[in-house]
């Protein structure tokens, strides 16, 4: 080992890492705070499986760039510092493939099916699961299906409940690291805020460094500098009586860390007061717990508050001269999830979406293959006299293009793209689709579309026969905070389940400025 822990690897500074090394369970999950030494467990297990067990290993990180950086920053130095490892490997020239005799270490990013296909392994390590393409996680698990002996490790700091490592942790043994209190001799664990005496009132209050750990059983002070002593005999205890012993889960927070003082924990907590991004980071990186910021998820109560007396069977527009302003949003795939919205406003001007009230007049879905889904969209366009429809461009690009060309000027294809200014609509005539394409910032437009439910006086109305699936899809989109490439917090929506109607809602929202542009004969920028 190099850096702060130079010398042979050991467990003095990471006693909680010993048991995970020896786990014989087929499936293992580590939901952890940042910098707790559990990635090192994954690396060590990878070397052990290659060297002693003579089996191939697939080590997966969120992106190909992450995989490349990992290969250079973690794998390379390990070989330089360990003569044994250096001689074990026969070929290390390829960034994403290392050979140790007849066995292979595959290092891959989770983005893109081709990265994980055709790699039959018996040991799978998923590092930072929450940042991965969640669909690809299950593809990676499928790589083990043909093996008699299989082992899976999923390691990550969490983001939101029921997503990524939090979801994988739920059916496990849910083990916590417990120790015998040096004051009262009771077995206990470190939990926030019961086990910390918070001193100081702000980030800049120097008294924060006087904060200290305490036993939640007896309130006795636990000295940070004495952690090597009172954690030396600590053990992992299962907390889920229904957990499968062949599916172990480990949880650890930064209060156990030897390198993070109680004062640093308190300062991080104060930084989060009044700053949702910092509070989300505190829960994720310090406490190792999933967290939903205030207002980050639509609730059943908020949805109930928008339900009105109208139904999806109410009267359609009478003719093409009807003055009703109606838009349609379509989220496409094997199924087409659809929302049709009627809009009411006393003015057509800038920031039209904020001024308009939306009334969802119909929502439903059609199967593309079994129900001629794209043909049914044609029927809905005419039945509701839709002024403008926005549908996502993928994955059925050819079908989407043909649909748009059947209604020239009334249908726009959409793609989400990072880097688009908030609420801006970047409209182009796509050579790929030979029709109009708009690119938008995903987070900004979901904020508008879902924010209607969260206002004190809701700006949207749902029919009383809106189905349960629609409601669940809206709740499955959770607004939280992640870090951008520069380490700064940025808002992002994470899905915890099917979210198709949430995006149909968003596309119908995006269609409103297009409809206004058609009605008024003015440039769409006039309404943004």
- Which of residues 438 and 430 earns the better pLDDT score? 438
On the question of pLDDT at 375 being above 90, the answer is yes
Decide: residue 487, CB within 10 A, 0-12 exposed, 13-18 middle, 19+ buried. Answer: exposed
Decide: residue 476, CB within 10 A, 0-12 exposed, 13-18 middle, 19+ buried. Answer: buried
pTM (two decimals): 0.86
| Per-residue model confidence (pLDDT) at position 206 | 94
CA distance 244 to 57: 24
On the question of pLDDT at 62 being above 90, the answer is no
Hey, what CATH class is 300-527 in?
alpha beta
Half-sphere exposure of 369 (CA within 13 A, CB side): 2
Cβ(40)–Cβ(5) below 8 Å: no
Strands 151-156 and 27-32: parallel
Cβ(52)–Cβ(77) below 8 Å: no
CA distance 324 to 346: 13
On the question of pLDDT at 113 being above 70, the answer is no
For the stretch 180-203, pLDDT in tens is 999 999 999 999 999 999 999 999
Q: Which residues pair with 107 in a beta bridge?
A: 59
174's CB contacts (< 8 A; 6+ apart) are 238, 239, 240, 243, 249, 251
- Residue 77 phi/psi, 5-degree rounding, is -60, -35
CA distance 311 to 331: 22
48's CB contacts (< 8 A; 6+ apart) are none
19's CB contacts (< 8 A; 6+ apart) are 235, 236, 250
* The residue to which tokens 């607004």 are assigned: 479
User: Count of residues for the chain?
Assistant: 528
Tell me the average pLDDT across 312-320. 87
For the stretch 317-370, pLDDT in tens is 987 667 789 999 999 999 999 999 999 998 777 889 999 999 999 999 999 999
183's CB contacts (< 8 A; 6+ apart) are 215, 218, 220, 221, 222
Of the candidates 122, 73, 63, 71, the residue with the CA atom closest to the CA atom of residue 92: 71
Q: What are the residue boundaries of the structural domains of the chain, listed by start?
A: 26-170, 173-291, 300-527
Q: How many other CB atoms are there within 10 angstroms of residue 35's CB atom?
A: 13
Whether the domain at 26-170 and the domain at 300-527 fall into the same CATH topology: no
Of the candidates 481, 168, 159, the residue with the CA atom closest to the CA atom of residue 291: 159
| Per-residue model confidence (pLDDT) at position 488 | 76
Tell me the average pLDDT across 36-48. 92
| Per-residue model confidence (pLDDT) at position 84 | 87
On the question of pLDDT at 253 being above 70, the answer is yes
Predicted confidence band of residue 81 (pLDDT cuts 50, 70, 90):
confident
Q: Would you identify the CATH topology of the domain 26-170?
A: Rossmann fold (3.40.50)
Q: Which H or E run includes 105?
A: strand 103-109
User: What proportion of the chain, given as a percentage, has pLDDT over 70?
Assistant: 94
* The residue to which tokens 């093996």 are assigned: 147
Half-sphere exposure of 286 (CA within 13 A, CB side): 23
Collapsed DSSP state (helix, strand, coil) of residue 22: helix
Average pLDDT over all residues of the chain: 90
- Within 113-240, residue ranges assigned H as helices are 134-142, 164-169, 227-230
Token pair of 361 as six digits? 């007049």
User: What proportion of the chain, given as a percentage, has pLDDT over 90?
Assistant: 66
Token pair of 166 as six digits? 């939090």
On the question of pLDDT at 248 being above 70, the answer is yes
In 3-state terms the chain splits into helix, strand, coil percentages (rounded to 5) of: 35, 25, 40
On the question of pLDDT at 168 being above 60, the answer is yes
């Amino acid at each position: 080992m190099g850096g702060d822990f130079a010398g042979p690897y050991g467990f003095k500074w990471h006693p909680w890492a010993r048991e995970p090394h020896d786990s014989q369970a087929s499936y293992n999950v580590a939901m952890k705070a940042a910098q707790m030494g559990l990635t090192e467990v994954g690396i060590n297990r990878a070397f052990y499986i290659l060297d002693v067990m003579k089996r191939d290993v697939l080590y997966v990180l969120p992106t190909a760039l992450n995989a490349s950086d990992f290969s250079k920053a973690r794998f390379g130095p390990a070989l330089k510092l360990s003569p044994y490892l250096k001689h074990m490997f026969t070929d290390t020239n390829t960034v994403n493939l290392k050979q140790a005799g007849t066995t292979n270490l595959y290092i891959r990013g989770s983005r893109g099916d081709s990265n994980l296909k055709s790699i039959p392994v018996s040991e799978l390590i998923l590092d930072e699961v929450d940042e991965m393409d969640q669909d690809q996680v299950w593809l990676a698990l499928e790589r083990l299906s043909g093996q008699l002996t299989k082992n899976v490790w999923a390691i990550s700091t969490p983001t939101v409940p029921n997503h990524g490592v939090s979801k994988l942790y739920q059916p496990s043994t849910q083990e916590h690291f417990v120790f015998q209190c040096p004051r009262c001799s009771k077995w206990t664990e470190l939990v926030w805020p019961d086990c910390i005496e918070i001193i100081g009132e702000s980030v800049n209050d120097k008294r924060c460094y006087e904060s200290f750990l305490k036993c939640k059983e007896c309130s006795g002070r636990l000295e940070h500098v004495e952690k090597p002593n009172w954690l030396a005999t600590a053990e992992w205890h299962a907390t889920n009586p229904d957990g499968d012993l062949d599916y172990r889960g480990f949880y650890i927070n930064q209060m156990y860390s030897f390198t993070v003082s109680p004062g640093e924990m308190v300062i991080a907590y104060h930084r989060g007061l009044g700053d949702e991004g910092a509070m989300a980071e505190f829960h994720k990186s310090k406490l190792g717990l999933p967290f939903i910021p205030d207002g980050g998820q639509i609730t059943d109560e908020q949805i109930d508050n928008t339900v009105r007396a109208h139904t999806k069977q109410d009267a359609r527009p009478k003719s093409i001269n009807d003055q009703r302003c109606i838009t349609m949003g379509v989220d496409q795939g094997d199924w087409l999830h659809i929302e049709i919205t009627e809009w009411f406003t006393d003015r057509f001007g800038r920031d039209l979406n904020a001024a308009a009230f939306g009334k969802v007049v119909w929502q439903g879905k059609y199967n593309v293959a079994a129900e001629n889904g794209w043909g049914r969209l044609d029927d809905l366009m005419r039945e509701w006299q839709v002024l403008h429809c926005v549908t996502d461009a993928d994955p059925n690009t050819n079908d989407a293009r043909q649909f748009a060309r059947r209604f020239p000027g009334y249908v726009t294809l959409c793609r989400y793209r990072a880097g688009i200014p908030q609420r801006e609509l970047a409209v182009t005539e796509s050579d790929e689709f030979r029709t109009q394409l708009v690119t938008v910032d995903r987070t900004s437009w979901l904020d508008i579309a879902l924010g209607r439910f969260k206002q004190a006086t809701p700006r949207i109305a749902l029919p009383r026969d809106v189905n349960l699936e629609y409601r669940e899809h809206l709740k499955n989109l959770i607004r939280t905070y992640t870090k951008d490439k520069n380490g700064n917090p940025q808002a992002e929506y994470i899905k915890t389940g099917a979210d198709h109607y949430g995006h149909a809602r968003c596309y119908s929202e995006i269609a409103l400025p297009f409809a206004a542009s058609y009605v008024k004969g003015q440039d769409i920028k006039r309404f943004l």
